């Protein structure tokens, strides 16, 4: 397997999910061996930061990389897309603090890049071999992410929110599975009862029902629905019998579980490349995902 980069520059523009600010993201071809690098094009001298776990600063509802005096928020979806498509090297320029959420999945990146295919490079891909199992675990929540040695790359995720709407969902990906169709199209999600809290804490300013699945776990009044509809500027919303907010059609019954897998693939890419490993996760989130990547980076440094 030779290394690959994108054939052209691809530009995407939209609101950040949490900040609501308009941002432009450009994915550029990059030389073999350079990996994935982010750059803040709006700042003086356009500072850059490699997509590595040691630069993770916060994991509140998304993954943020920090270069000390600057940061880039919500990098997991574009990292997941590049990983799922087999991209080794790319330069990602962002014109603001947060990557645009677009439709809440990796679909826009996938569709644009797949239309042209990838550029094969002269250098061979150097897979990361896992020396020993590593595990990040939260005893309070019971969530964990485990990375174990294996001959090939695979992911298995189990999602359990104790939800009557979602139930227990599982999802799987390895390099034989069509990432673009099976994983990349799966959108982010939020519980209805979380929305007021998130809005109060200046999060999801760029969220609406076009880029997030809204799960209504508990009974709500028409007034509550109307209030949230006004906050996200989407009138005439209602709760469907399935337990989801209207104006949404699931791509898969387990789309939420598949989106958690999408996030995990993006976060684990912060190990620095493609792994030969079996990755399993129970109730994963950005904190557990990136902690596991940090543990593996530390093990590799030894």
Reported in sequence order, the residue ranges of the chain that DSSP labels E, i.e. its strands, are 2-6, 10-15, 22-29, 36-40, 48-50, 56-58, 64-66, 71-73, 90-94, 118-124, 128-129, 134-137, 144-149, 154-160, 168-174, 189-191, 213-215, 275-282
C-alpha 37/C-alpha 27 separation (Å) is 10
Which member of 18, 77, 259, 286 is catalytic?
286
Place of tokens 């596991």: 292
- C-alpha span between 89 and 97 (Å, rounded): 22
d(CA 268, CA 147): 10
Based on the residue annotation, tell me whether 193 is a catalytic residue of this protein. Answer: no
Q: What angle do CA 250, 253, 256 make, to 5 degrees?
A: 75
d(CA 64, CA 51): 10
What is the side-by-side strand order in the sheet with 71-73? Answer: 56-58, 64-66, 71-73
CA distance 104 to 292: 24
Contact 184, 107 (CB under 8 A): yes
Neighbours of 170 (CB within 10 A): 13
Question: Which residues make Cβ contacts (< 8 Å) with residue 262, sequence separation at least 6?
Answer: 76, 77, 80, 84, 105, 106, 183, 184, 186
Instruction: Tell me the C-alpha distance between 279 and 261, whole Å.
Output: 10
Place of tokens 């999060």: 203
Cα 85 to Cα 69: distance, rounded to the nearest angstrom: 32
Catalytic sites, residue numbers: 286
């Amino acid at each position: 397997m030779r290394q690959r980069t994108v054939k052209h520059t691809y530009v995407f523009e939209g609101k950040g999910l949490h900040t609501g600010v308009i941002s432009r993201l450009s994915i550029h071809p990059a030389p073999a061996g350079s990996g994935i690098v982010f750059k803040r094009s709006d700042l003086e001298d356009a500072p850059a930061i490699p997509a590595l776990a040691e630069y993770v600063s916060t994991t509140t509802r998304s993954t943020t990389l920090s270069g000390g005096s600057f940061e880039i928020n919500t990098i997991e979806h574009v990292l997941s897309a590049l990983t799922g498509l087999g991209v080794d090297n790319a330069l990602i320029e962002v014109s603001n603090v947060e990557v645009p959420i677009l439709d809440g999945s990796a679909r826009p990146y996938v569709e644009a890049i797949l239309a042209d295919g990838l550029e094969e490079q002269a250098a061979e891909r150097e897979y990361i071999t896992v020396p020993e199992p590593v595990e990040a675990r939260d005893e309070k929540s019971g969530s964990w992410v485990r990375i174990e040695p294996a001959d090939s790359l695979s992911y298995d995720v189990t999602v359990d929110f104790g939800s009557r709407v979602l139930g227990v969902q599982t999802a799987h990906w390895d390099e034989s599975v069509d990432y673009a169709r099976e994983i990349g199209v799966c959108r982010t999600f939020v519980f209805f009862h979380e929305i007021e809290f998130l809005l109060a804490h200046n999060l999801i300013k760029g969220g609406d029902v076009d880029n997030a699945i809204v799960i209504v776990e508990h009974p709500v009044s028409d007034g509550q629905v109307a209030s949230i509809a006004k906050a996200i500027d989407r009138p005439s919303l209602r709760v469907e019998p399935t337990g989801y907010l209207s104006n949404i059609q699931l791509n898969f019954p387990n789309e939420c579980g598949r989106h958690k897998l999408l996030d995990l693939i993006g976060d684990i890419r912060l190990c620095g490349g493609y792994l030969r490993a079996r990755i399993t996760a129970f109730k994963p989130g950005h904190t557990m995902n990136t902690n596991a990547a940090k543990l593996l980076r530390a093990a590799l440094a030894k």
